[in-house]
Amino acid sequence: MRINRVELRHVRMPLLSPFETSFGRETERDCLILRLESDGLEGWGECVADRSPGYCYETVETAWHVLADFFLPAVLGADLGAPGDLASRLKPFRGHPLARAGLEMALWDLEGKRAGKSLASLLGGERERVPVGVSVGIQPSMDALLRTVEAYVEEGYRRVKLKIKPGRDVQEVGAVRERFPDLPLQVDANSAYTLEDWPVFEAIDDLRLLLIEQPLQEDDLIDHSRLQARLRTDVCLDESILSRRHARQAIEIGACRVINIKAGRVGGLEEARLIHATCRERGIPVWCGGMLETGIGRASNLALASLPGFTLPGDISATGRYYREDIAEPRFTLNPGSTISVPTRPGLGIDVVPEALDRFSLRRESFPS
């Protein structure tokens, strides 16, 4: 597979409603979209870096820089093997997993189109539909929170994740649990707590949650293992797990009993698949996280979540959860039973809508120019 040309775009899409987490409140979602050309085929990729380094240190600007100046020159004109071999080609470069993963996604799309196989089948997926849930941001009031959760439950979501932060936790989650006694419920702190906050965890531990996601700092497996030892509720790691080694070590020291897998965070689908295998061998359930993806990244998430070890519902909501208009078709909708169907056409199995993509593009550049 020889890459003849790459087009890079900075895209900004308005969110249907603001999304607030422990690291901030967003009304628009930025990302980078890559279009690769290889022997008359095009491959699409999404780099899930955001405008600000809130979820992780990368931003659309750092990803643009690293792709334009280092990663793209390393692949342009070269004869590439399988998409998973990108790692060896990018070996001279450190870090920037979101930028890596965006490029790798486009290679997987190309590979699927070349082979006439869906991304799910290339990765070893086994499910036609995957169970999904919805991630609910921090709301302006208790009333708004209960109404928002109720609306998603009425829409058919059967697993709800609540974002929490210090001061907006026990009362909020307790009220949702009281109102929806049997709803599969989980929380995500995005690293906002320390072990000093033990009383919060002790209270939350009584609320029959599916899991508590990333309560402590991302570089702190040790305190996560101390916390997990004191909790009945499963700790799930997100930001802390950047590679299969992190996954293995976190499991070995009891830092978590569940892992959230995001291809972006771990540098691509190949590493995601390896983490899935590591967890499966050890009986650790995994689920597919979300980064407010466009239809391109959402299609990739659905393919990944079709692998057999993804036994918990993913943060892969319907397109309409986030966007009025998307840059790819068809839109993803919720099936009865809180599932979304995995694309079956070759590659990612979606079509990018050029007019929509142009309208949301703030900047574009072709390589080689």
With CB under 6 A as the contact rule, the residue among 3, 26, 270, 284 that binds ligand NPQ is: 26
| Cβ-contact 67, 36 below 8 angstroms | no
Q: Is 319 among the residues that bind ligand NPQ (CB under 6 A)? A: no
**In terms of CB distance, is 90 or 299 closer to ligand NPQ?**
299
For the chain, how far is it from start to end, CA to CA, in angstroms?
21
Q: Which residues of 3-17 are buried (b: 16+ CB within 10 A; e: fewer)?
A: beebebbbbebebee
What would the 3-class secondary structure string for the chain be? CEECEEEEEEEEEEEEEEEEECCEEEEEEEEEEEEEEECCEEEEEEECCECCCCCCCCEHHHHHHHHHHHHHHHHECCECCCHHHHHHHCCCCCCCHHHHHHHHHHHHHHHHHHHCCEHHHHHCCCCCEEEECEEECCCCCHHHHHHHHHHHHHHCCCCEEEECECCECHHHHHHHHHHCCCCCEEEECCCCCCHHHHHHHHHHCCCCCCCEECCCCCCCHHHHHHHHHHCCCCEEECCCCCCHHHHHHHHHCCCCCEEEECCCCCCCHHHHHHHHHHHHHCCCCEEECCCCCCHHHHHHHHHHHCCCCECCCECCCCHHHCCCCCCEECCCCCECCCEEECCCCCECCCEECHHHHHHHEEEEEEECC
Q: Is 29 among the residues that bind ligand NPQ (CB under 6 A)? A: yes
With CB under 6 A as the contact rule, the residue among 238, 270, 271, 293 that binds ligand NPQ is: 238
Residue 271 binding partner per list ligand NPQ, Mg ion, none, with a CB distance cut-off of 5 to 8 Å that depends on partner kind = none
**Shortest Å, Cβ 29 to ligand NPQ:** 5
**In terms of CB distance, is 272 or 291 closer to ligand NPQ?**
291
Q: Is 21 among the residues that bind ligand NPQ (CB under 6 A)? A: yes
- Residues assigned a catalytic role: 163, 262
**In terms of CB distance, is 75 or 134 closer to ligand NPQ?**
134
**Shortest Å, Cβ 85 to Mg ion:** 29
CA 126/CA 247 separation, integer angstroms: 23
With CB under 6 A as the contact rule, the residue among 35, 46, 50, 293 that binds ligand NPQ is: 50
**In terms of CB distance, is 135 or 338 closer to ligand NPQ?**
135
Contact residues toward Mg ion (CB under 5 A) are 188, 213, 238
φ/ψ of residue 24, rounded to 5: 145, 180
Which of the ranges 75-83, 173-181, 286-294, 327-335 carries the binding residues for ligand NPQ, by CB under 6 A?
286-294
Residue 270 binding partner per list ligand NPQ, Mg ion, none, with a CB distance cut-off of 5 to 8 Å that depends on partner kind = none
Q: Is 55 among the residues that bind ligand NPQ (CB under 6 A)? A: yes
Q: Which of residues 175-204 bind ligand NPQ (CB under 6 A)?
A: 188, 190
Q: Is 133 among the residues that bind ligand NPQ (CB under 6 A)? A: no
**In terms of CB distance, is 118 or 135 closer to Mg ion?**
135
**Shortest Å, Cβ 238 to ligand NPQ:** 5
**Shortest Å, Cβ 297 to Mg ion:** 15
Which of the ranges 5-13, 204-212, 290-298, 328-336 carries the binding residues for ligand NPQ, by CB under 6 A?
290-298
Which of the ranges 75-83, 84-92, 285-293, 359-367 carries the binding residues for ligand NPQ, by CB under 6 A?
285-293
Which of the ranges 168-176, 196-204, 275-283, 284-292 carries the binding residues for ligand NPQ, by CB under 6 A?
284-292
Task: Give contact residues for ligand NPQ (rule: CB under 6 A).
Answer: 19, 21, 26, 29, 50, 55, 135, 188, 190, 238, 289-292, 315
